[in-house]
Structure 1
């Protein structure tokens, strides 16, 4: 005898039935989009093999498409039928951790591959339908008294997995699905959004409303926010905001003017300045969202506008009341007792959950990522239930949205995303206690996440799994978890430790370490050359010294002194002897009116010439070039015997010798200009093999000083794309010299690129070197959060 369903359970059954019907109806459009995409591929040119593969995929899909649509509809319909509690389920979807706990089991390769493809589709769908899905999920939870189980068809990961499984079941290759996945997931997201909305509308007509939302949407003086028409104004009025009518056409000129002005201003900026400008815009939007009416927390960049910044909408201003002082001085009250207890419990549960998730990430990364996103979403929902104020709810929601964005970043290996997910609760603690987290670009928690994210975006999963970098990020996360009450202090401490780790880790590879050694010696040599030259010019300024001797000392012997100091040391016997040789040469080339002086020159000449030859050989000057140089010097020495000029005082020579002997003690910051930098010269001068090194020296290319300053501010560990001699490579910025005149980039294949400062700036200015993460992980996450809240502001306090 069947037990009658309660009205709520019956209504829930109807919702799932309507959802399946709407989703199945949309499958017709999804099928057509896939066919159109394959047809487009078919008409594109390519190699003979590629064109044949495309034709085979198009023909096979034409034969099996009807079977796939029918099988998918049947699978969805079967999955929507309610099952008795405790019954086994045929679905092989991964359970949601917060709902059923994590269950690990051995899966076949096909099952894992299906899950990976389905997870990718589900992430895209979830991004598009998050607002509607969350609204429906809350309503279903209210009716059924429990959260949606992991295998519920209403979850995107469930119906996406069924769709993928049926594709393979009807004989369509999984590789073909991966070829059309971008077009398929976009269309599926549209149809899923329609299905979710229809279900929400149905429940609304049945009187199942969402919890009461007390929202107040504020606007800048003068009416609606830019771009808000009558429909948007009505929507905001329904949410509790003042209803101000403004014709859309009337608002457009004032809307376009600031945008045009800002575009003009930003077009003249370096990419770094534009990135900062966008970051200021994002932080300003987030600041006004959390604390309306507050004074700016940071100085606005030059000519900053109030219009859209890198996709950040300005129509969302505030959904919260209250004002306060600048963000940096906001004094947040302690978290409510219930929320504090919930945070402590979440921290405790997270340790077990993430340790198990880490094992899954190495085998089925995309599946683990989907579960992480779901866990972040459900954790925020549970914490908001414990929040006692609107401010706490808003902070919880914004932090959750930011972490959803971070975890959806495909360029971060899954294993690292698992580690980042563990920071949700610690960051939430900081955000609750220190509201300037949302507006201060230099907040230690932001800087740490940005730095770790930028360093791993160039690695694939296999390269970083088990690496020292992954181990260091795990250590950083564990330290933060161990000290939950220390706020920004622990983030600051571990960030400094992480920077120290990076400096060592990025240069520990043998090939890179060798290049760093070379580059350090090159800069040291050039710095000393300049210093020796400057000192010689100063000391010889008032001495009667022949031009030939001056040119030799300034252009040649200064390099000998510098190279000897780099190779052997500034106080090595050889270097000291070369320094004394400079003083001896100046004295010997001076006038010799006295017989005793001429006798001393004749006696010391063999030793002087030997030291000169040794120095020239150190520079690689041997054979005829060396003999030619020695002849010039000996001719000058011979003329000194008959010179009628005043002799150089012995005291002046001793001062010269002493100043050269201890010159390194007073070296200043020299500006290294046209450094004679190339691979062959480096190898010859320093005696080090530099194969695999591309040396990109200054070439007098015009470059703006603002870009030079930008080049000085590049962060070690960041990933770039370099275009050198027509060849493009992905490279990581691994080192810069002490005076930032030399900069080293390393590619994963072992190639290295050494650039001088101004040439580096020229590459940045012309786009031959482009940063892969210009915006920063947390700024991009904040921008994504703002976009979602602008589309669905109700979720902030739900």
Structure 2
């Protein structure tokens, strides 16, 4: 229904209060609003998608590596494939929201009004930040028009109360609906975040025209024509919750820094029970400035760098919490020494920054992803990082902040460290060097973090190249052993299946089980199972076994005579390829000829006794059938037995190369290893240490059993800083007095 019909003179009614629910007039007006909104949003969405390819292509050109570039190109293909599904899903949700009883979509990860935060996966938190940020920004920008629109929608929907939190056309509702529609898209989070930015730029910006348009049409239809628009600000709880999502996600925007710290300040205030804006007593000494704090910290840093740390050596998270309190007390004392009088308190934001950095290093000392030796080393960085946070509050709001990247790089390097894998102390010395550089050299030049990042990245690349070569050799050697093992198993299976339950003469059985089994293995490795050579080698096995069948009539004698020359040719060619000497081949063939002539009645029976003589087989020939028979029997039993029910199998199958695990076998020191390679032949998982040397290899069910028993565990792949922020926000969101987890 067109809006023009809604305000025909015969239908104009001065609607100052409300229409009763179910009134046909309200349904007509709501349908008109629905048509206008979906039509305009569809246009805006189309404009947005027209710019996605160009934006992704630009990012791909600027990508830092090939893997990142492929993420963007894959994203371009996925967006083209799923565009219509996203548009349909989005417009369908908008239509549903503007139904007979308008409702806004429920945000799946938004924090509650009580301030509790729902911590979910990092990618979801990134999306939550994007949605919350664009909603908050546009609600403030469009407050007047949105307030008027909510009042008019409330009138035509039976007098329900609509505001920013439940209005179906509010930026939060429209952004959340788009987020749910983006569930149709399977793409890297970086691609999704770009699309959210474009949605903000094209669709949310288009609300400037949509709101006034709907308001004007409803006014012409007689809905609150005299209503005066008045700006309304978003509820403080809503704004705080949105910024808290940014904290949990470790926000990306530089402009979010103050919002992040402000929200953390609110959380700290709630825990401490202090008034956020309470002024200090008139007689109190003024709070120290940031410049004074940095001066006092530099003195303490100098003491720590000289190994005369005023703070006790930390031994764990609880000790670290005590150390943080001791550091704050020492800092106040040092401030008193510098200014001549100890200040009674710090500025709230500065105190919160100090506590936040303290909690960050508490997490480091509680995080068993890091080996204890590395935990103690990184814990010495608390004062330099506190100075960095005071100098630049964006540290907690930007993932690409140099200080944050440096700590993540150090933690990633430390994660795979062990004394066994670092016998030359190369990694330990490098981490220690970075720590010492910061302790001795960092004053107020934040560029030092960027320079150290560059140096550490070059060091990591050198390690990676060296380890990559070692890993390749280990994988190739493992692959070769597996090919040999599978070929031996296949050869033994082919021979045993063909022998069945027959009792062959010792000479024939010996040739098949040892010499010919080795020839089958060699043929499989060189030519492959689909080759003509392998087929002919198997045909020889059939013919050789057939040559031992009873000879009862002229037809069977004729069959044996036809087999004999073919058997001789095959044996000469096959045995020569597995290191038989010509004289040994002739001796074997002479024994076989005597055996066949006796069976044909062409030689005395005693000639058959030569079949019992020793077989001239070189030492290099392995008894493959005898060796592989137990393994084949085990395979058959395993094939008939139900597979073990180990819940961790699903976790094992989800592991990707590059994942780090810690193995803690009983009675042996723990060892950290990276999943390097998954065999395409056997499915076994190969693990190497930081140097690329083999640590272990497991079949999937063996690894699942180790995970279930606790003798192995998967180490987190998320960056240290992200995990620390999640833990800090989770802790601060708990009611005051709740002990730390």
TM range (shorter): 0.3 to 0.5
Task: Pick the structure with greater CA Rg.
Answer: 2
The alignment's TM-score, normalised by the length of structure 2, stands at: 0.36
